Amino acid sequence: MSAEKLDFQAEVSKLLHIVTHSLYSDREVFLRELISNASDACDKLRYAALTRPELTEGNGEFAITVTIDKDRRTLTVSDNGIGMNRDDLIENLGTIAHSGTGAFLEQMEKAEDGGVSLIGQFGVGFYASFMVAEKVEVLSRKAGEGNAWHWESEGTGSYEIAEGERPGPGTDVILHIRKDADEFLEAERIRQIIKTYSDHIAIPIRLKATPEEEGETVNQASALWTRAKQDISEEQYKEFYHHIAHAFDEPWGWLHTHVEGKVDYTLLLYIPGQKPFDLFRPERKHGVKLYVKRVFITEDCEDLVPPYLRFLRGVVDTEDLPLNVSRELLQNNPLIGHIRNAITKRVIKELERRAAKDKEAYETFWNNFGAVLKEGLYEDPGNREKLLKLARFRSAKSDGLISLEDYRNAMVEGQKAIYYITGEDSEALRQSPQLEGYLARGIDVLLLTDPIDDFWPQMSDEYEGLPLRSVTRGQADLDDIAAKDDKGDEKKENAAKGDIAVLTAIFKQALGDEVSDVRSSARLTSSAVCLVAGDTGLDMHLERLLKQQNQLEALNKRILEINPDHPLIRNLAAKAKDKAARKLIEDAAHLLLDQARVIEGEPLPDPAAFARRQSEFLLRALPEDADGQTPAAADDTAEKSAESADKTAKAEEDR
């Protein structure tokens, strides 16, 4: 059968271009990736053979073989695992079937080392082969099928695929080594790489210095998590993380424990040092593999880890499940629920320990995974109190992250709640007019910018007896707290409250159904107006989010709050009883409402009317014209002439 030539998916071509046109100081990692893939293939066949034992008939012991052929300048990594057929080769080697591919490639292009530290993290470690190979061949036969398939590429824009020959199931990856990579044809160098990166692999790795040799096993070939902790070095722990997570970063921390009792199981769990690319995929899958008696079962057991701990990587090995347990039965198995609760409890306890021991390191963790951990505040009421203590926040008064306990300790006298505001950018939130009255009184406000922040406060509405309140909803309960600059000058008492009441009434009448109310504000100090939601309404940012997702047909009507001490409001209030200024005040009401909408990032319902009113106000502010009239006076004259003309026309019509 002649070879079929196919093009790589565009993202693969771009990835290969980055790989093959970059220089790397740690090219040796390609071998770790190929051995990890071979190990996974053996694990998958071992699991499949539990229900279909015929798949491994005549296959012998699972093993990985690395063969050097200096004459042909090839390095071959072979396994007798699950293997691939034609469709598998196209899907696994010709495409990157992951969401977030664009973001991944963008980060690779920006990376100073060309992106090698990101390759494994995205699960595309196979392509690292092209760092050392000018051509790569893959010969594979899927277990249970008779045909083998041959895949070949030089790492350019295409690859060829055709039928091949292989005596049993498994895969051979044949690398034709570049001239500048001779070190990878030396047996001692390959042995050193295997011992460094793959010693923990539970399957024997045999090294053949020539194709004719029988080969020697160069790794310990025992599951790392089954060894005693005192027998495992820090480097071995880190290398196992690289293997199990297909990652190049250093782990932020790990948890290794064996539990005996109602359920016997071993945990070896890692918290990554960098944020995985699939962290916010809609299916929210975790990266923890389930083993039974050292036999790989699945990495898709949804109930093994709660979604808000999906950043975890590692293994869970239990003695108490049957080897032939199906993935469907796992979903409702009470033993899985017991292990899940234990994982959650131990991870939270470890995070508490690290948060108390090393504040700087914990902030690194929180910047990576805090947005995910906060999902537990919404989803896990049983652990909500502990998660609230672990949570860290940015605030209007602090430069770094603070805990709710930090916030509580810094509360001012008379403060009875924890205040927050939600939005998309912390710097923009700091400029929000709703914060002014709080900051003027020395009250800090938490700045919540993660998507989940719009939801969890509805479920976790208090901390240690203190209610959590949004500064954009309801009345500002600040009457009992004096402002920092309040020196008893009775500023508010001196304001013309009667005129403000008249102005508020005119604003209400002018705005009509555009707002639910107009009222004097206690939360404003320097801004003239702001919008807030009612006491029983949704938070404004949450409303806008639901509207964008078509979960709401329209936004609820807002309350317009006016600052009685702002010069503009005081001047308007002084004219409130002047009938000649009525149109000026009504236009000002609409302008100020639109101004408040702009500050909130909401669209203007009538941009043309806004522009017209703004132009008229600017015209009134100009100096006198050549006729000696101010624009405002000219405008009044024109308005009176128009009124006179209207009256004349009506009289004629009546006659």
CATH (domain of 510): 1.20.120.790
Q: In which region does residue 627 sit, left (phi positive, over 0), alpha (psi from -120 to 50) or beta (all else)?
A: alpha
User: Given its phi and psi angles, is residue 203 left (phi above 0), alpha (psi -120 to 50 degrees) or beta?
Assistant: beta
Q: Is the pLDDT of residue 513 over 80?
A: yes
Q: Is residue 575 located within the same domain as residue 649?
A: no
In a domain, 371, yes or no: no
Say yes or no: 236 and 203 in one domain.
no
Listed residues 222, 249, 271: the one ending a domain? 222
- pLDDT recorded at residue 456: 92
Mean per-residue pLDDT, 213-234: 90
> 464 lies in a domain?
no
**Using CA atoms, how far apart are residues 572 and 586, in angstroms rounded to an integer?**
10
Assess contact for 284 and 373: CB atoms under 8 A: no
Instruction: Please say which residue of 323, 352, 381 terminates a domain.
Output: 352
| pLDDT for residue 171 | 96
121 and 233, same domain (yes or no):
no
Half-sphere exposure of 15 (CA within 13 A, CB side): 28
Asked if pLDDT for residue 144 goes beyond 90, the answer is yes
**Do 560 and 589 lie in a common domain?**
yes
pLDDT beyond 80 at 483: no
Same domain for 621 and 632: no
DSSP string of 105-142?
A: HHHHHHSTTTTHHHHGGGT-GGGGGGGTEEEEEEEEE-
Q: What pTM was computed for the model?
A: 0.72
Compute the average pLDDT of residues 407-423. Answer: 93
CATH assignment of the domain containing 175: 3.30.565.10
Q: Do 244 and 162 fall within a single domain? A: no
Domain tally, the chain: 4
**Contact between residue 192 and residue 183 where contact means Cβ atoms under 8 Å apart:** no
pLDDT on residue 109:
58
What angle, 0 to 180 degrees and rounded to 10, lies between the N-to-C axes of helices 631-654 and 607-621?
120
The answer to the question of residue 475 being in a domain is no
Instruction: Classify residue 228 by burial, with Cβ atoms within 10 Å: 0-12, 13-18, 19+.
Output: exposed
| pLDDT, mean of residues 205-216 | 94
Residues 174, 61 share a domain: yes
**End position of a domain, from candidates 297, 318, 352:** 352
DSSP-H helix ranges across 247-333: 327-330
Q: Is 334 among the domain residues?
A: yes
What confidence category does residue 96 fall into, taking pLDDT thresholds of 50, 70 and 90? low
250 in the same domain as 212: no
**What pLDDT sits at residue 495?**
46
Question: What is the residue range of 192's domain?
Answer: 4-222
Per-residue pLDDT at 153 exceeds 60: yes
Torsional sign, CA 314, 319, 320, 323: positive
Q: Please tell me whether residues 346 and 331 are part of one structural domain.
A: yes
How far apart are the C-alpha atoms of 208 and 190, rounded to whole Å? 10
pLDDT band with cut points at 50, 70 and 90 for residue 577: confident
459 assigned to some structural domain:
no
Cβ count near 273 (within 10 Å): 17
Residue 485 lies in a domain: no
Residues 182 and 268 in one domain: no
- Residue 342: inside a domain: yes
The pLDDT of 357-368, averaged and rounded, is: 95
- As a whole number of angstroms, the distance between CA 458 and CA 473 comes to 13
**Among candidate residues 309, 258, 320, 265, the one with its CA nearest the CA of residue 287:** 309
For the ranges 433-437, 494-498, 559-563, the lowest mean pLDDT is seen at 494-498
Tokens of 490: 């009775």
Q: Are 613 and 587 in contact (CB under 8 A)?
A: yes
Examine residue 404 and state whether it is found in any structural domain, yes or no.
Answer: no
341: confidence class by pLDDT, cuts 50, 70, 90: very high
pLDDT 10s digits, 426-461: 999 999 999 999 999 999 999 999 989 988 998 888
Specify whether 87 is located in the same domain as 186. Answer: yes
Contact by Cβ (8 Å): 517, 508: yes
Averaged pLDDT score across all residues of the chain: 84
Q: Is residue 161 within 8 Å of 148, Cβ to Cβ?
A: no
pLDDT of the residue at 270: 97
Instruction: Based on the fold, state whether residues 26 and 65 are members of the same structural domain.
Output: yes
